[in-house]
Amino acid sequence: MFDGEVYIFRINCPHCNSKCVIAHSNDVSGGIDGLFVKDLYCHCHNPDCCASFVVRAAHTHYLQPPRNSVLDMAKALVKKHEEQLELGGI
């Protein structure tokens, strides 16, 4: 939950380091489940620069996994433990 906070993905121009706007994006992950890769088409706001460029954004790893994933893992561990108890393994 974000509690009303706004998170902004900021892009700076690689040439002049000014703020840029993301004009549009393309999903380049090819529909592969669990993969997030996008090309972000950016334009520099500096009137003396006006560069246009593409930034590739990709998900690499979680700092905190989604809650439903953690709950699923916990349920699987409890189920495995219960099965071992029923079989007399512990």
State if pTM tops 0.85: no
Q: Is the pLDDT of residue 90 over 60?
A: no
Note every long-range contact of 18-23, with CB atoms under 8 Å and residues 24 or more positions apart, other chains counting: 18/44, 18/45, 18/46, 18/49, 19/44, 19/45, 20/44, 20/45, 21/45
Rounded mean pLDDT of 38-63?
94
Residues 66, 41 share a domain: no
Q: Are 28 and 38 within 8 A, CB to CB?
A: yes
Positions of E strands within 20-66: 20-27, 37-44, 52-58
Residues 66, 32 share a domain: no
Higher pLDDT, 23 or 70: 23
Indicate the number of domains in the chain.
Answer: 2
- Give the domain range for residue 51: 1-59
Q: Is the pLDDT of residue 43 over 70?
A: yes
Residues 3, 33 share a domain: yes
Residues 30, 51 share a domain: yes
Residues 71, 53 share a domain: no
Q: Is the pLDDT of residue 5 over 70?
A: no
* Cβ neighbour number for residue 44 with a 10 Å cutoff: 22
pLDDT at 16: 98
Residues 5, 31 share a domain: yes
Residues 66, 55 share a domain: no
Residues 55, 26 share a domain: yes
Residues 66-87 pLDDT 10s: 777 777 777 888 888 888 888 8
**Residue 86 host element (H or E):** helix 67-86
Q: How confident is the model at residue 1 (pLDDT cuts 50, 70, 90)?
A: very low
